[in-house]
A = this chain, B = another copy of it.
């Protein structure tokens, strides 16, 4: 852990050297914190995220196979699509990148337990990495979470607390972490570790194929979109490229806070519960997401169940065994194909279909 890194609050200016304390939000004003670096980007030897350790605030304590996912380039009706197969990470989603960083930090600071509120891919990722790093995973999940996911979590040895709702879970988890000083609250929707984790996707793409013209990414809490923006911006600012991709965020009609924030008004459309992984009504980093999209001259697009379902089956038809949420970005691409003629477009495929298809 290097003092070249520091915690920083965009809102109130709070700033502190990184590596001694843990904050899941600003201790002064309660805003999401950023971890910033003055370090030079370079590619190190090794496997996985450690290849980018020069710009990572913490190096993973253990390599478990995360990162270096396949990049599959396909030409589709005049658009050069770069699929990044993030669902082939160890627990079946891109979350493993952020989890690996966040939990390595928890271990370094001496925590023995990690706690979070999630019932989806992040919960599975945290449970798997906790075991491997010798930490006890505690999870607050909504009572209504799918039984199949509960089974995976129990199998992974997570201590499950069922809250009345998703909202209640995020209140209960904070209470738990207040009364358990040994517990590290991951707070994945707030944590910058998940943003930096996702930035390594951009680094891998750059190393292998350069900078794409566009990035189309699903947006729930926004860690993926912000990470891709952070990654490509790092390369741009350090003079390794002169190109920044335009970033298109994708949400469902049912839950569209980024769209509302960008356009000032809700856009009506078909319900979109099929892409459940991006149904986050109040993303803590909403302002940053909007800034990242604007700064890149990007946009936000909304999709509904019908398009998501079609895009999902079309992905599986190409050999990509993903979950429906992964298809939201691809559904948006379908609509944009005329506008994106001749362009290269990075589409991260986020989560594995194997977690849910056996239960369908």
Could you tell me the distance in whole angstroms from the C-beta of A51 to the nearest C-beta in chain B? 12
Given contacts A155-B357, A354-B355, A359-B148, contact A319 B70 (CB under 8 A): no
Q: How far, in whole Å, are A282 and B71 apart by their CA atoms in the complex?
A: 39
**Chain B residues within an 8 Å CB radius of A212:** none
Count of chain copies:
2
Verify A90–B131 contact, CB threshold 8 A. Answer: no
Segment with Cβ contacts to B, from A35-43, A57-65, A162-170, A283-291: A57-65
Could you tell me the distance in whole angstroms from the C-beta of A81 to the nearest C-beta in chain B? 13
Please pick, from B149, B319, B352, B358, the residue contacting A64 in the complex, using a CB distance under 8 A. B319
Among A63, A70, A132, A356, which residue has the most Cβ atoms of chain B within 10 A?
A: A70
Tally chain A residues at the interface, Cβ within 8 Å: 41
Verify B65–A88 contact, CB threshold 8 A. Answer: yes
Does A117 lie at the interface of the complex (its beta carbon under 8 Å from any beta carbon of B)?
no
Given contacts A70-B47, A88-B65, contact A128 B354 (CB under 8 A): no
Could you tell me the distance in whole angstroms from the C-beta of A354 to the nearest C-beta in chain B? 4
Could you tell me the distance in whole angstroms from the C-beta of A138 to the nearest C-beta in chain B? 17
The chain B residue with its CB closest to the CB of A84 is: B65
Please pick, from B48, B89, B131, the residue contacting A317 in the complex, using a CB distance under 8 A. B131
Verify B92–A354 contact, CB threshold 8 A. Answer: yes
